[in-house]
Structures are given as C-alpha cells and as structure tokens.
C-alpha cells in the first residue's frame, strides 16, 4: 500500500512527500501542510457513485454500516483489518422548508446536513475514526489534541471505545481555560481522557499541543493531521448520496480551524478527477464576527491561493496586528472561537477550487438562526447555526440565488451547549446577561420563554389554554 498512498505537500512548487505512516504531519522539505495523496490509476475506484448504494445490503459488516467507511474506496489508506469504527456517520440530510423561508430561499431548496447524530454528537467523529485508524497503523498508544471541545469529545470517546475493543489509546486533551462548553467538557471527563486545562485560548493550546506531541512522540489528531480530513470528506459523500448523487449549488459550512472546508473541497475535486461528478459546488465559509481571521484575510485583504504562492506577508502582518492590539477570538459560538486557523492555506485552495466566499456573522444573528433551526426540528449548537445565519446573509446580498440548491452543515448537537440555549430562551434578565448580555448580545428574536404558574390545577389549565 505504501507506494499507492503517501503524504504530499500542498504547495505544488515544493513537491515534498512523506511516507504513509509518517506522523510529523508537516512537509519534510518546507514545513507546510500535507495532503493524503493516492495513485488512483493503480487503485480500484468505483465506476459510478451508485456503487455505494449496494453497501446497504452488507451492513452486517461494521465497515459497511459506518457512514464513513462505507466510502472507503474513496480514501483507501488503510487495510480493512486496521479500521476503527464505532458506528459514526449515520447522519441525516434533511430538507427544511421552514428554515429555507427564514434564510430567504425558495421552498425545497435548503437541506440541513445534521451531524449531531454522530456518537459523540458532532461531525468530528467522521475524521476521528480515520485518524485513529492511521494511529493504529503507526503503532501509536497515545493521542493528543487541542480543542474548542468537539475534537476533544471525539478523541475521548474513541479512546474509551478502544478499551472495549482491545485497542486502548490514551487520550490527552488541551483546552483553553473557561473556553469550553459544559456538554463537551463533560464528555472529555466522562470518557476518561487526560484533560489539560491551560491558561489561554484555543490558539495557545494548539501551539502547545504541537510542541508537546513532538517532544513526547504523541500522535497528534488536530486537523493538521491530513488523515482526519480524509474522514471528514465522507460528509460530502453522504450529502451527494442523499441528493441522489446530484451536486448541490452551494455547501455552507462554519469555519474555525478550516479543516472541514479544506476536506470538502478535496472530496469534490477528487470526485471530479475520478470522473464521478461533472461539476463542483460553490463553498461558503462562515466565521463568527468575533473570530473572523479568514473573512478579513480573504474578503478584506484580498488574500488568494494563487497556485500555492499566496502572500504569506499578509498573514504575518495580520497576526502581528492581532498581537499588537492584544486581540483574542471572542464569540459565543465557542467551537469556532479561533483566530489563527491552522489550515488557512488549504482553505484558500478550497475556495479557489470551489469559487468560494467567506462571511462573518454577529453572535446575535447566529443565535437567532439556531433558534429557528431548533424550532424546525433539528437541535444544533451555536457554531453550527453560523451556516444558516451566513446563508441568510448571502441570500440578502444576492450572492446565493433564492432558487439555488443549498446544503448547510449542522456540525454539532444542541446538547453540546445547553447553558447558552437556556440563557437565550430565559425570561430572567440576570440569566440572559450572565451568559449572553455580557458578551454583547442585546436582545434575541425567537425566545421561547418558560411560563411560570402557581402549583394550582386551574392556573395550570389556564396557562395551557392561553399558550398552546
Ligand atoms: N462546528 C463545530 C461544532 C466545531 O466544533 C468546529 C470545530 C467547527 C464547526 C469548525 O470546523 O475547524 O474544520 O473549521 N471545532 C474544533 C474543535 C476546532 O476543537 O472541536 P473547522
């Protein structure tokens, strides 16, 4: 397998490569990001995407049951015997006319790719099972990540599941102090991961975990690890499957560390290269306004991929300005509270390939979109709702047409961050202020307030008759 699959520098001028089982996750020649690359001419590739419809008949095989691994011919880096699965990727691409109306799209045009159904409650499981599989292939016994919460919850659950399956892995998690929602922190603790709470934010934690992993030889599962991104590709394969293999006009995804947008563009580019689709969708990445590095650089500073020769000085100057003004990422969408996205170059390439755009949305609009999504029947966390809030903005601007077919990725489950949801709907000003008001949200539009009633049958009946 080693000569059919390898790691390759994303800079086309560099040409650096690394072996399949190398775990440095940086180009040995230039230090840049790596892709997993395949010699497709010598690998068995399905002739049509319809091939995958047959997998349902063999779902007694856990690898065909998994919503990730049933597409393994499209990221064939592991022998079946090495594959780790806990049933991830059984997710839903749901048409939502109510949310379409809110976002300004015509009926039947919006689909919500609901990744909250994964075992750890977020889309991160798609990539984590791939990273764990690769870790196993390299003989690793410890795995680490820095996280805003979901990657760490996912790492923790796969470590814990490994104990049951006889392939234990010790998980080490770096989180910024006070920066992680309780749902996610509780998962890391419950599943037994070593949780290092450092003083600082995600950007600090990511820097540290890379140093520590190098020093101690711990397998790194952050999205600089290109094998994670191979697993995330399958979200797009499932979108296509749900749309009967028709490519939508737009994919809208929240942007944090920018691994997913990179992965989605790789998925579509490879499908096109293999002749399995005939056109690419456009991509929209949505930042929170309080963590808008990608928006600033792409939309305001004109930073472009430029065939790999992107203007590094623009990025350095931007980061220097952040440092000089002591500006840290600050958004209630804590999952994407990131100012130094590690996959920035890959994301530039993704937008270049898929004619992409970036927008940045204030927290209040993200939270309103979240309430609308919830009222429409799918519960998601704030960062996920950035996709719908961003779609609404792009429709308002006329960038996305009302009649275009759009898929918004809902990345994490509503139970990831119950405190924020309760504060949003709270009638109690102190509760609202403690969580939302003090972070700059003045008012919200779709609060569903609890109705206080005395412990009295008549009063209860009256309250129901008046409100339901
Ligand atoms: N949505 C959710 C719910 C996330 O947890 C993340 C990232 C994103 C969107 C953004 O994805 O980083 O690929 O651009 N969460 C990471 C974490 C950073 O540590 O869990 P991205």
Rounded-to-integer distance, Cα 84 and Cα 63, Å: 9
Q: Which atom of ligand 1 is nearest to the CA of 151?
A: 20
Q: Is the CB of 383 under 6 A from ligand 1?
A: yes
The neighbour count for residue 360, using CB atoms within 10 Å, is 23
Q: Is the CB of 254 under 6 A from ligand 1?
A: yes
* Span from the CA of 281 to the centroid of ligand 1 (angstroms): 21
Query: Is residue 4 packed enough to be buried (19+ CB in 10 Å), middle (13-18) or exposed (0-12)?
Result: middle
Q: Which atom of ligand 1 is nearest to the CA of 347?
A: 14
Rounded-to-integer distance, Cα 408 and Cα 395, Å: 13
What pLDDT does residue 84 have?
95
* Span from the CA of 95 to the centroid of ligand 1 (angstroms): 23
Q: Is the CB of 147 under 6 A from ligand 1?
A: yes
Q: Is the CB of 334 under 6 A from ligand 1?
A: no
Q: Is the CB of 151 under 6 A from ligand 1?
A: yes
| Contact between residue 123 and residue 260 where contact means Cβ atoms under 8 Å apart | yes
Mutate to test the pocket of ligand 1, among 150, 206, 287, 339 (most ligand atoms within 8 A of CB): 150
What pLDDT does residue 179 have?
76
- The helix (run of H) or strand (run of E) holding residue 261 is helix 259-273
Q: Is the CB of 411 under 6 A from ligand 1?
A: yes
Mutate to test the pocket of ligand 1, among 115, 171, 202, 254 (most ligand atoms within 8 A of CB): 254
* Span from the CA of 18 to the centroid of ligand 1 (angstroms): 26
With both helix axes pointing from N to C terminus, report the angle between 363-375 and 382-396 in degrees, rounded to the nearest 10. Answer: 100
How do 34-38 and 5-9 pair as beta strands? antiparallel
Beta-sheet strand order (sheet of 282-288): 92-95, 110-114, 406-410, 250-254, 282-288, 357-361
* Span from the CA of 336 to the centroid of ligand 1 (angstroms): 6
* Span from the CA of 47 to the centroid of ligand 1 (angstroms): 33
Q: Which atom of ligand 1 is nearest to the CA of 122?
A: 3
* Span from the CA of 255 to the centroid of ligand 1 (angstroms): 7
| Contact between residue 93 and residue 141 where contact means Cβ atoms under 8 Å apart | no
Which protein residue has the closest C-alpha to ligand 1 atom 11?
256
Q: What 3-state DSSP class applies to 151?
A: helix
Closest CA to 305 of 37, 6, 12, 28: 12
Q: Which atom of ligand 1 is nearest to the CA of 147?
A: 19
DSSP per-residue string spanning 342-410: TTHHHHHHHHHHTT-EEEEE-HHHHHHHHHHHHHTT--B-HHHHHHHHHHHHHHHTTSS-TTS-EEEEE
* Span from the CA of 462 to the centroid of ligand 1 (angstroms): 45
| pLDDT digits (tens), the chain, 468 positions | 668 999 999 999 999 999 999 999 999 999 999 999 999 999 999 999 999 999 999 999 999 999 999 999 999 999 999 999 999 999 999 999 999 999 999 999 999 999 999 999 999 999 999 999 999 999 999 999 999 999 999 999 999 998 777 778 999 999 988 778 999 999 999 999 999 999 988 888 999 999 999 999 999 999 999 999 999 999 999 999 999 999 999 999 999 999 999 999 999 999 999 999 999 999 999 999 999 999 999 999 999 999 999 999 999 999 999 999 999 999 999 999 999 999 999 999 999 999 999 999 999 999 999 999 999 999 999 999 999 999 999 999 999 999 999 999 999 999 999 999 999 999 999 999 999 999 999 999 999 999 999 999 999 999 999 988
Q: Is the CB of 120 under 6 A from ligand 1?
A: no
Mutate to test the pocket of ligand 1, among 125, 236, 267, 335 (most ligand atoms within 8 A of CB): 335
> What is the pTM for the complete model shown?
0.97
Q: Which atom of ligand 1 is nearest to the CA of 412?
A: 3
Q: Is the CB of 125 under 6 A from ligand 1?
A: no
What pLDDT does residue 1 have?
61
Closest CA to 37 of 13, 24, 18: 18
């Amino acid at each position: 397998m080693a000569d059919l699959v390898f790691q390759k520098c994303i800079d086309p001028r560099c040409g650096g490569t690394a072996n399949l089982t190398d775990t440095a996750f940086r180009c040995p020649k230039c230090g840049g990001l790596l892709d997993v690359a395949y010699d497709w001419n010598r690998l068995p590739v399905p002739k049509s995407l319809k091939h995958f419809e047959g997998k349902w008949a063999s779902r007694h095989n856990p690898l065909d049951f998994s919503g990730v691994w049933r597409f393994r011919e499209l990221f064939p880096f592991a022998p079946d015997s090495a594959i780790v699965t806990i049933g991830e990727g059984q997710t839903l691409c749901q048409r939502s006319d109510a949310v379409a109306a809110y976002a300004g799209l015509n009926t039947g045009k919006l689909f919500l790719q609901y990744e909250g159904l994964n075992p750890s409650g977020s889309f991160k499981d798609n990539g984590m099972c791939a990273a764990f599989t690769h870790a196993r292939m390299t003989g690793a016994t410890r795995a680490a990540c820095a996280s805003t919460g979901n990657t760490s919850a996912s790492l923790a659950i796969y470590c814990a599941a490994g104990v049951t399956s006889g392939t234990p892995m010790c998980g080490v998690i770096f989180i910024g102090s006070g920066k992680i929602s309780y749902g996610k922190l509780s998962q890391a603790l419950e599943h037994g991961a070593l949780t290092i709470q450092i003083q600082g934010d995600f950007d600090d934690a990511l820097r540290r975990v890379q140093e520590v992993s190098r020093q101690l030889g711990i397998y790194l599962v952050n999205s600089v690890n290109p094998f994670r991104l191979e697993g995330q590709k399958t979200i797009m394969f499932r979108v296509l499957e749900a749309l009967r293999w028709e490519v939508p006009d737009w994919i809208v995804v929240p942007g944090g560390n920018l691994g997913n947008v990179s992965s989605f563009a790789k998925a579509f580019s490879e499908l096109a290269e293999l002749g399995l689709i005939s056109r690419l969708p456009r991509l929209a990445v949505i930042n929170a306004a309080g963590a808008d590095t990608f928006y600033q650089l792409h939309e305001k500073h004109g930073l472009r991929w430029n065939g790999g020769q992107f203007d590094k000085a623009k990025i350095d100057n931007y980061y220097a300005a952040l440092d000089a003004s002591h500006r840290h990422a600050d958004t209630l969408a804590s999952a994407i509270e990131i100012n130094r996205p590690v996959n920035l170059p890959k994301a530039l390439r993704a937008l270049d390939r898929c004619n992409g755009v970036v927008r940045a949305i204030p927290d209040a609009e993200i939270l309103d979109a979240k309430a609308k999504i919830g009222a429409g029947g799918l519960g998601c966390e704030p960062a996920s709702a950035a996709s719908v809030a961003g779609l609404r903005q792009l429709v308002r601007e006329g960038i996305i047409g009302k009649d275009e077919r759009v898929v918004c990725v809902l990345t994490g489950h509503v139970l990831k961050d119950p405190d924020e949801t309760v504060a949003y709907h709270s009638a109690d000003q102190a509760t609202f202020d403690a969580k939302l008001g003090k972070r700059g949200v003045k008012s919200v539009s779709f609060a569903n307030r609890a109705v206080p009633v005395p412990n009295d049958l008549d009063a209860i009946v009256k309250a129901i008759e008046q409100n339901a």
